[in-house]
Amino acid sequence: MTSPASPADLSAWGAPQQPRGAALLTDPLLNKGTAFTERERDVLGLRGLLPPRVFTLDEQVQRSLAAVHRKPDSLEKYIYLTNLQNRNEVLFYRLVMDNIEEMVPLIYTPTVGQACLEYGAIYRRPRGLFLSLRDRGHLADILSQWPHQVRLIVVTDGERILGLGDLGALGMGIPVGKLSLYTACAGVHPSYTLPITLDVGTDNQELLEGPAYIGLRRKRARGEEYDSFIEELVQAVSMVFPKALLQWEDFGNTNAFRLLTQYRSRLLSFNDDIQGTAAVALAGVIAGLRLTGGTLRDQRLLFLGAGEAGTGIADLYVEAARSEGLNEAEARARCWFVDSKGLVVKAREADLAHHKLPYAHDHPFIATLDEAVRTLKPTALIGVSGMPQTFTQPIVEQMAAFNPRPMVFALSNPTSKAECTAEQAYQWSDGRAIFASGSPFAEVEFKGRRHVPGQGNNIYIFPGVGLGALAAESREVTDAMFLAAARTLAGMVAQGDLELGRVYPALTQIREVSLRIATAVAEEAHAKGLAQAARPDDLMADIRARMFRPVYREYA
Ligand code: NAD
């Protein structure tokens, strides 16, 4: 690890004025709890404030893991982990990183969804900033009060939290969780990160009427009132944290596309629901091609659901197919959408949302997915509709009738919303489907063969993309960077995984995945003249050296 004193070091920021005694124990970035040594206890005025026995970090991790296991349910485990994070970040991240497969579902989906629903009840102490419409005119002042030099912001307005809809100010669990993943998976130093929840009201009547709701009790701002608030935020971030990357998170459909288009070249920013999802799904397709033997150029993708996820994936596919020689029209012609009203076609143009228009082809209207599959004969069927059990037996059987290895991606979350289960996909395709899902499914034994479903979790993409953009001090996060991320991820799927049908690497490899993606993203920034940092000779070694690792500093 490089010296934390290096100003270029991503783990260097927040180097504190040294607090002592009780104040030291309440600073989560500095606190070592029972791991303070005898000498540190003397020098730092900690005698008597801690129980006598000195523990190692490893011993603390074991004790904390046992405490997690003692909690009766996922929400209680989440609360325990949140409290640990607020008490001792090194210990929290060591625990999470050493047990990543067990911890990710606790600190992020699916548990974070339940935590958001109950955020009003379980709220203990602030983490991040709540910026409400009442703060208009003062956003820059409020950001200036934040005690660290921020490089990474995740912001939500709570309108479309996971599959749960409008949760208003309760959405805070999402930016908090995503930023924890940035640190655990890509080594962005915790002091660099700032979760923000914009409280612009909520249209969730139950929350507005409930006694425990923590946000403004008013309907959502729309139009000019909303837009000027966002504009003030963007200006404030640019002014107070000019090197920060901002991730738009869980905004409603109409605002998400608009804000991304409007701000992506003005402010270093991206939208994970659109672009991160696109990259992880495309990576699954690219890895799947290693099994089918096909090329991106000759795919026909049929999407169920034409929202942020679906059109984001298609847009990135178009970028990828263009890089393989197709022109834009040819690439778009390979993407088809069925939304809640049927096949997206030219005849429906007058009623279609803006983001669907590029995929409204000149083709007779088809009312059902079943019929669309029979007519269009897609190579991949991608579910991003939030509608469970819509990939029925006849549909999957059709896919298997004209594809030796059909790709069936049921990406809707949570598990209960998946378009079909892993077991159904394997059974109905006679074990030939290449299946991926948004939420985890257990492996399936079918006709004596083991099938391991891939989980197309955005966690494979956004931490690495963010780290790469920060390391290069890129001016922009481009689609080409997401494409580089998708290709890197697909290239990291081991042959052994592919043979089991798994199109994503194991989560235990996430630090290496993020590092390689970050390197590819930074490389792209340097190649396209977007990087503001000097290019080190060995880009990967340089990024690796900057990644935060949860080890205690020695004070004395
Ligand atoms: P969205 O609200 O932007 O879009 C949903 C789309 O589905 C809309 O176009 C809607 O018209 C369509 N739809 C609704 N009912 C339908 C029906 N009966 N038939 C066909 N289409 C229908 O939401 P989104 O952000 O695009 O997310 C969609 C789903 O994808 C969610 O369930 C989400 O959990 C999932 N998702 C998965 C991942 C992942 O796996 N990594 C990432 C992001 C989103």
What's the pLDDT tens digit per position in 398-414?
999 999 999 999 999 88
| Residue 11 confidence (pLDDT) above 70 | no
Average pLDDT over residues 506-526: 98
pLDDT tens digits, 323-349: 999 999 999 999 999 999 999 999 999
292 pocket-lining for ligand 1 (C-beta < 6 Å): no
Percent of the chain with pLDDT over 90: 92
- Output the CA 254–ligand 1 centroid distance in Å: 13
Joined together, the tokens standing for residue 17 give: 């004025």
- In this structure, the residue with its CA closest to atom 19 of ligand 1 is 340
- Kindly state if the Cβ of 474 falls inside 6 Å of ligand 1: no
Q: What is the pLDDT of residue 17?
A: 63
Residues 368 and 288: their CA atoms lie apart, in Å, by 26
Whether the CB of 163 sits within 6 Å of ligand 1:
yes
With b for 16 or more beta-carbon neighbours within 10 A and e for fewer, the 251-285 pattern comes to bbbebbbebbeebbeebbbbbbbbbbbbbbbbbbb
338 pocket-lining for ligand 1 (C-beta < 6 Å): yes
Q: Can you give 473-496 as a three-state secondary structure string?
A: CECCCCHHHHHHHHHHHHHCCCHH
Paired strand residues for 72: none
Residue 510 to residue 554: CA distance in whole angstroms: 28
CB 345 within 8 A of CB 361: yes
396: its two tokens: 């999957």
- Indicate whether residue 309 lines ligand 1 (CB < 6 A): yes
Q: Is 339 near ligand 1, meaning CB less than 6 Å away?
A: yes
Q: Helix or strand or coil: residue 199?
A: strand
- Give the pLDDT of residue 401: 98
User: Which of 303, 384, 507 for a ligand 1 pocket mutation test, highest count of atoms within 8 Å of Cβ?
Assistant: 384
What atom in ligand 1 is closest to the CA of residue 312? 26
3-class DSSP state of 347: helix
Q: In b/e form, how buried is each residue of 72-96, taking b as 16+ CB within 10 angstroms?
A: eeebebbbbbbebbbebbbbbbbbb
Is residue 212 scored above 50 in pLDDT?
yes
Angle at 168 between CA 162 and CA 171, to 5 degrees: 45
Beta carbon of 273 within 6 Å of any ligand 1 atom? yes
Residue 109 in contact with ligand 1 by CB distance below 6 A: no
Mean pLDDT, rounded, of the chain: 95
CA distance 33 to 83: 13
Residue whose Cα lies nearest atom 1 of ligand 1: it is 307
pLDDT digits (tens, 9 = 90+) for 228-285: 999 999 999 999 999 999 999 999 989 999 999 999 999 999 999 999 999 999 999 9
Ligand 1 geometric centre to CA of 505 (Å): 24
pLDDT in tens, 40-69: 999 999 999 999 999 999 999 999 999 999
Cα of 134 vs centre of ligand 1, distance in Å, is: 32
Q: pLDDT-based confidence at 123, cuts 50/70/90? A: confident
pLDDT at 157 over 80: yes
Which atom of ligand 1 is closest in space to residue 386's alpha carbon?
A: 32
- Nearest residue by C-alpha to atom 34 in ligand 1: 413
pLDDT at 247: 98
Q: Tell me the longest C-alpha to C-alpha distance in the chain.
A: 80
- DSSP-assigned letters across all residues of 95-117: HHHHTHHHHHHHHSTTHHHHHHH
Contact 118, 78 (CB under 8 A): no
CB distance 353 to ligand 1 below 6 Å:
no
Residue range 215-238, pLDDT digits in tens: 999 999 999 999 999 999 999 999
Rounded to the nearest whole angstrom, what is the distance from the C-alpha of residue 385 to the centroid of ligand 1? 3
Task: Give the pLDDT band of residue 8 (cuts 50, 70, 90).
Answer: very low
> Known catalytic residue: 178?
yes
> Could you give the CA distance from residue 391 to residue 408 in angstroms, rounded to a whole number?
9
Separation of 314 CA from ligand 1 center, angstroms?
13
108 is catalytic: yes
Q: Is residue 121 pLDDT above 60, yes or no? A: yes
What's the CA-to-centroid distance between 313 and ligand 1, angstroms? Answer: 12
Tell me which of 32, 77, 178, 356 is the catalytic residue.
178
Atom of ligand 1 minimally distant from the CA of 280: 41
Q: What is the three-class DSSP state of 82?
A: helix
The residue whose CA has the least distance to atom 28 of ligand 1 is 384
In this prediction, residue 414 carries a pLDDT of 83
Distance (angstroms) between ligand 1 centre and the Cα of 422 equals 18
Ligand 1 binding pocket includes 252 (Cβ within 6 Å): no
- Give per-residue pLDDT as tens, 431-484: 999 999 998 899 999 999 999 999 999 999 999 999 999 999 999 999 999 999
Average pLDDT over residues 358-384: 98
Ligand 1 near 531 CB (within 6 A)? no
* 89: phi then psi, degrees, rounded to nearest 5: -70, -35
List beta partners, residue 20.
none
Which of 78, 80, 81 is closest to 116 using CA atoms? Answer: 78
Closest atom of ligand 1 relative to the 310 alpha carbon: 26
Q: What is the 310 CA–ligand 1 centroid distance (Å)?
A: 7
Closest CA to 514 of 442, 458, 463: 463
Structure tokens at 469: 């953009």
Task: Check 108, 119, 213, 263 and give the catalytic one.
Answer: 108
Give this prediction's pTM: 0.94
CB distance 272 to ligand 1 below 6 Å: no
The continuous run of DSSP H or E covering 414 comes out as: none
Domains of the chain with bracketed CATH:
10-55 (1.20.1370.30), 60-267 (3.40.50.10380), 275-460 (3.40.50.720)
User: Which residue minimizes the CA distance to atom 41 of ligand 1?
Assistant: 457
Contact predicate 410/420, CB 8 Å = yes
